[in-house]
Amino acid sequence: MKLAKNILKCNRNLVLSQRSLATSQKTLAAQTITVREAITNAMDEEIGRDERVFLIGEEVAQYDGAYKMSKGLWKKYGDKRVVDTPITEMGFAGIAVGAAMVKVPIVFRGPNGAAMGVGAQHSQEYASWYSQCPGLKVVSPYSAEDCRGLLKAAIRDDDPVVFLENELVYGSQFPISEEALSPDFVLPIGKGKIEREGKNVTLVSHSKGVHLCLETAKELEQSGIDCEVINLRSLRPLDEDLIKNSVKKTHHLVTVELGWPQCSIGAEIISRICESDAFDYLDSAPLRVTGADVPLPYAKTLEQNSLPQVAN
Amino acid sequence: MRQIQVELESVIMNSYTKLLAILQPNTSRRILLQRRDAFHSNTVKSPINISGSSAVNTKQQSRFSSTDSSSKTLDYEAKNAYKLHLLEEGPKTNVSCNREEGLEFYKKMQVVRRMEASANNMYKSKLIRGFCHLYSGQEAVCVGMRAAMDKSDSLITAYRAHGWSYMMGVSVTGVLAELTGRKSGCAEGKGGSMHMYAPNFYGGNGIVGAQVPLGAGVAFAHKYRGEPNICVALYGDGAANQGQVFEAYNMAKLWALPCIFVCENNGYGMGTSAARASANPHFYTRCEYIPGIWVDGMDVLAVREATRFAKEWCVSGKGPMIMEMATYRYFGHSMSDPGTSYRTREEIQDVRKSRDPITSFREKVIQAGLASDEEFKTIDNEVKKIVEDAENHAQNDPELHVDEMYSHVYSNPPKNYMIRGCDSFTYKEATK
């Protein structure tokens, strides 16, 4: 039955379905895709699935996306479903919101946070800004699987969703399971994931910060410190319970992010933990690792030192 | 004589417009534009200059026809009711209505007028709080436009929205009780004056100019779905200089969106007259690639005719159109503004006496023999009762229960999602 449904979708799925006939899901060799592919394919599938869905933005059609995230979509779906706009953000964001009021599902997606040497005006991290607003849902995926599942969930959600990507991971390869490649694979908005289980300290992060935490965990392992790394996936709603349960286990908490310290995501997490019963389980004060409280400089060493590193 | 002069002016204006359409942007075009504007300002007075204005004075121009008593109509030439930009032809100047329509338009305008008067009183008695922007004086715009729209057409406006809320289907109770924050209000009291909604009516928007791109977006959705509907996006003379309005014009024209951009020019953006705020106060000409129509916004039949023309234009796939409704507001910008520090009381009284949309329409209907003074008095009493009844509800109905604060945050709240109250001990489940 599943095979029959998949054959009706795009070619990619056909290939995968044949494979799943031959072997069971668990013993398959891990396939990898890049974050870019995950996002492009998720959009492709959702545009194909629901007539109401269209992609609108600067350079999304004939340029294949300012960061090539919508490659091939315009050729496949044409002008009606993939719409190039003039460089008038206020105008077309307003148009998108107007269409959303008439029950067109809306997702605001794009790169967030620092890239490499793009200077302060192009490096701002908006996680805190958006996650402050009641009525919005805000997600900040890390892996390709996160991107795929959360983007599909965001598009299918009736509420407005802000989908924060990170330019630097667009090209990164991630392993992805068969299940994650199925066309109806959605991840629940509001739930995080434990990327690495551990016993001694909880590291909580989102987006690229998760990578940093995993690298840190590897290094600390050698000193005998076992880190539990949590990938938040969603910033609003925040998966408070996941963090609380982890803290109850490890008794230590460090939040990690690339944004500025004042009113950071970490500040929110720590406040919530302190207000909850998990506070009693802490053996030391919770700490934050964030970007430096400065507009991001351009010069290479300055930039590197303005953003968190494993050493922090 | 006056008629000949007006016709001559309009021929000259049209010639300028045609020449401009041919010329490339260069010195000649610039000089021609200046000449045209000089001619325009010399011959056609600004709509808000009411002394000796060339704005509609239909008493002189109109002819009332009454055929035999069973099929009487109000029929006249609204010759000065339109000015055109980038259009060869405009709406019909011969406007008419039958008795039924005449009485209906009168009644609706009167409801809006009385409803706003009631809001004024309730605000002064502190039953209404915060913002309250009254529509009195502008009734012919909302009644006339709505009469030319289909039920499934959409509309979005700014904050002077009570009249529009009523015309788009909210009952008088729904409006007044919303103003007093009761649960019988159309947004259950959660919105207040600037946030009223109804099917196909997208408010009610507080941020100046922001509703214009939204309106273009609603039009986008109509077109995307192949629906034969328009979206009317209204804004004021104050908002007409906002950058986002021009961004919306650009995309609406590029994509031929079925959107009518309507500038309700009541002469003042808060306390700043149109002439002091706009380098070009001829708002219907503000876009060099979208056709525009200036309409006498005090003449309900002219408004209806012009809207019919604009709607047909949009629906036939020709793209957007701009309309400028020359109208007037009697009250100040909002309840905190007496409205007399930037204009004279004489000006306000003058408009009431010579150009009021309701009394002037009534006179025309009576003169055409469609209805009598007594019938109008009966309607006035009916309207009084409707508004009093609504006032009753607005003053006595309860507010929403405090727990309802946590509803309508998400249309699709995650399961068991709890919303935080004002302290860490208060969490309530989110409801739809």
d(C-alpha B421, C-alpha B80), whole Å:
58
Least confident of A25-34, A59-68, A141-150, A165-174: A25-34
Same domain, A272 and A158: no
Q: Is A98 within 8 Å of B244 when comparing Cβ atoms? A: no
Beta carbons of A160 and B411 less than 8 angstroms apart? no
Spans of all domains in chain B: 2-53, 76-396, 403-432
d(C-alpha B274, C-alpha B270), whole Å:
10
Same domain, A144 and A51: yes
In tens, the pLDDT along A201-255 reads 999 999 999 999 999 999 999 999 999 999 999 999 999 999 999 999 999 999 9
CATH number at A267 reads 3.40.50.920
Nearest C-alpha neighbor of B383 from the set B5, B118, B92: B118
Structural domain of A284: 193-306
In this predicted structure, what is the pLDDT of residue B33? 54
Same domain, A94 and A231: no
For residue A17, is it within any domain? no
For residue A20, is it within any domain? no
Closest partner residue to B248 among A54, A94, A157, by Cβ?
A: A94
In tens, the pLDDT along B343-372 reads 999 999 999 999 999 999 999 999 999 999
B226 near A CB under 8 A: no
A95, A107, A241: which to substitute to probe chain B, counting the most B Cβ within 10 Å? A95
pLDDT greater than 60 at residue B286: yes
Q: Which residues of A touch B221 (CB under 8 A)?
A: 98-99, 102, 104
B289 near A CB under 8 A: no
Domain end, chosen from A160, A181, A202, is at A181
Instruction: Count chain A–chain B contacts defined by CB atoms under 8 A.
Output: 93
For residue A3, is it within any domain? no
A83, A90, A102, A187: which to substitute to probe chain B, counting the most B Cβ within 10 Å? A102
In this predicted structure, what is the pLDDT of residue B36? 62
| B63 band by pLDDT with thresholds 50, 70 and 90 | very low
pLDDT greater than 60 at residue A6: no
In this predicted structure, what is the pLDDT of residue A257? 95
Same domain, A177 and A216: no
pLDDT greater than 70 at residue A29: no
Mean pLDDT score of chain B, rounded to an integer? 88
Same domain, A202 and A84: no
- Which sign, positive or negative, has the C-alpha torsion B395, B400, B402, B407? negative
Beta carbons of B399 and B380 less than 8 angstroms apart? no
For residue A63, is it within any domain? yes
| B430 band by pLDDT with thresholds 50, 70 and 90 | confident
**Percentage of chain B modeled with pLDDT above 70:** 84
- Kindly report the nearest CA distance between residue B255 and chain A, in angstroms: 10
In this predicted structure, what is the pLDDT of residue B67? 44
CB-side exposure of B281: number of CA atoms within 13 Å?
22
Q: Is A102 within 8 Å of B414 when comparing Cβ atoms? A: no
In this predicted structure, what is the pLDDT of residue B170? 97
> Structure tokens of B137?
């004086």
pLDDT greater than 70 at residue A271: yes
Same domain, A106 and A132: yes
Query: Using beta carbons and an 8 Å cutoff, which residues of A are at the interface with B?
Result: 54, 80, 83, 85-86, 88, 90-102, 104, 134-135, 137, 157-159, 188-190, 237, 275
pLDDT greater than 80 at residue B152: yes
Nearest C-alpha neighbor of A167 from the set A67, A70, A256, A71: A67
Closest partner residue to B410 among A83, A97, A159, by Cβ?
A: A159
Q: Say which CATH architecture domain B76-396 belongs to.
A: 3-Layer(aba) Sandwich (3.40)
pLDDT greater than 50 at residue B413: yes
B256 near A CB under 8 A: no
Same domain, A197 and A218: yes
Rg (CA), chain B: 23
In this predicted structure, what is the pLDDT of residue A214? 96
Same domain, A238 and A277: yes
Whether complex ipTM tops 0.95: no
Q: Is B251 within 8 Å of A157 when comparing Cβ atoms? A: no
- DSSP 8-state secondary structure symbol assigned to residue B399: P
**Residues 380-409, chain B: which have Cβ within 8 Å of A?**
409
> Structure tokens of A180?
């994650």
In this predicted structure, what is the pLDDT of residue A11? 31
Indicate the number of domains in chain A. Answer: 2
Same domain, A147 and A56: yes
Q: Is B202 within 8 Å of A101 when comparing Cβ atoms? A: yes
Q: CB under 8 Å to B385, separation ≥6 — which residues?
A: none
User: What mean pLDDT do residues A284-291 have?
Assistant: 95
For residue A149, is it within any domain? yes
| B261 band by pLDDT with thresholds 50, 70 and 90 | very high
pLDDT greater than 60 at residue B70: no
pLDDT greater than 90 at residue B323: yes
| B19 band by pLDDT with thresholds 50, 70 and 90 | low
Q: Which residues of B touch A91 (CB under 8 A)?
A: 213, 216, 244, 247-248, 250-251
In this predicted structure, what is the pLDDT of residue B24? 54
The pTM of this model reads 0.84
d(C-alpha A265, C-alpha A127), whole Å:
7
Cis peptide before A237 (omega within 30 of 0): yes
pLDDT greater than 70 at residue B191: yes
In tens, the pLDDT along A107-160 reads 999 999 988 888 888 889 999 999 999 999 999 999 999 999 999 999 999 999
For residue A25, is it within any domain? no
pLDDT greater than 80 at residue B129: yes
User: What mean pLDDT do residues B301-330 have?
Assistant: 97
Same domain, A175 and A219: no
Closest partner residue to A98 among B215, B411, B419, by Cβ?
A: B215
For residue A243, is it within any domain? yes
- Kindly report the nearest CA distance between residue B425 and chain A, in angstroms: 9
Question: Which residue has better confidence, A120 or B260?
Answer: B260
Nearest C-alpha neighbor of A138 from the set A113, A155, A163, A112: A163
Give the chain B residue whose CA is nearest to the CA of A102: B218
For residue A281, is it within any domain? yes
Q: Is A95 within 8 Å of B409 when comparing Cβ atoms? A: no
Give the chain B residue whose CA is nearest to the CA of A93: B213
In this predicted structure, what is the pLDDT of residue A205? 97
In this predicted structure, what is the pLDDT of residue B32? 60
Closest partner residue to A135 among B218, B221, B409, by Cβ?
A: B409
Q: How many CB atoms lie within 10 A of CB B343?
A: 15
Least confident of A249-263, B3-17, B86-100, B281-295: B3-17
Give the chain A residue whose CA is nearest to the CA of B411: A159
Same domain, A170 and A238: no
d(C-alpha A205, C-alpha A257), whole Å:
6
- Kindly report the nearest CA distance between residue B239 and chain A, in angstroms: 14
Domain end, chosen from A126, A158, A181, is at A181
In this predicted structure, what is the pLDDT of residue B41? 52
**Percentage of chain B modeled with pLDDT above 90:** 78
Same domain, A37 and A176: yes
pLDDT greater than 50 at residue A21: no
